[in-house]
Amino acid sequence: MMNSVSHGDLASSLKNMRLVSQTKQDLERYNYEVASGKKSDLRQATSADFAPLASIERSLRSLSAYENALTEAELFTSSLQTVLGTVSDQVSSISTDILTASSTSPDHSNIVVAKDARSKLDTVVATLNTRVGGRSLLAGTATGGAALVDAQTMLDEVTTLASAELDAAGVLSVVDDWFDAPGGGFETSGYLGSDTNLSPFALNEHQKADLSIKADDESIRDTLKGLVLAALIDQGIMGGDIDQQNTILQKSGETLLAADAKLTNARAEVGTVEQQISQAKLSNSAESYGLEMAKSKIVSVDIYDSAAKLTQAQAQLEMIYTITARLSNMKLSDYI
Q: Model's pTM, two decimal places?
A: 0.75
Q: For position 2, what pLDDT does the model report?
A: 46
What pLDDT, on the 0 to 100 scale, is given for residue 292? 77
pLDDT recorded at residue 5: 47
Domain-wise residue ranges, the chain: 53-285
pLDDT at 211: 87
Which residue positions in the chain have pLDDT lower than 50?
1-2, 4-5
* Average pLDDT score, the chain: 84
The CATH superfamily label for domain 53-285 reads f41 fragment of flagellin, N-terminal domain (1.20.1330.10)
Distances (CA, A) of 90 to 43, 120, 320: 65, 7, 85
Q: Which residues touch 123 (CB under 8 Å, ≥6 apart)?
A: 86, 90
DSSP 85-111: HHHHHHHHHHHHHHHHHHTS--HHHHH
Distances (CA, A) of 221 to 42, 124, 127, 181: 62, 11, 14, 11
Q: Give me the pLDDT at residue 53, please.
A: 75
Q: Please tell me whether residue 7 adopts helix, strand or coil conformation.
A: helix
**Residue 93: closest CA among 115, 128, 122, 120:** 120
Convert the pLDDT of each residue in 70-109 to its tens digit: 988 999 999 999 999 999 999 998 998 999 888 876 667 8
